[in-house]
Amino acid sequence: MKDHQVRLNGIGPLLWIGIKKGLRSSLGIIKVMFPVTLAVTVLKLTPVLGWLAEGFRPFMGLMGLRGETALPYILGSVLNLYVAIGAMIPLGLTSRETTILATVLLISHSLLVETAVIKGIGAPWFGLLLMRVGAGFFMGLVLSWVL
């Protein structure tokens, strides 16, 4: 919209456009998070989440996290943060656990997509992948100790 059109039409139409775009974006995020939240809730009712938690308990425990947090960690690392958030919701994490896991994932999220981009530009993708995973794990250790 041109500047003079904004002055003529007022702020109302712009506000309405913003609301529609915001609702559209929110719906897109909900479409990702809701199925993941539902799937993790169902997994809690089966022994599968328990098996996963037991297998990852030593690794996640180093960062002060329960074994169950391996599921959002893996999903967020491989896919994206919205999927990780959807997987975190039914686990009933404490604020300490949420802070640690969120920090780790902010450093090492969407590894498949971002590693492909790094590889595509000719950067040393494997070293950068290890650095991101290692930096995330290191921050998890530090936060586990500090919090």
Helices in the chain by DSSP H: which ranges?
3-9, 12-44, 47-62, 70-78, 81-88, 95-107, 111-120, 125-146
Instruction: Give 110-139 pLDDT, tens digit per residue.
Output: 999 999 999 999 999 999 999 999 999 999
pTM for this model (two decimals): 0.83
pLDDT bracket for residue 11 (50, 70, 90): confident
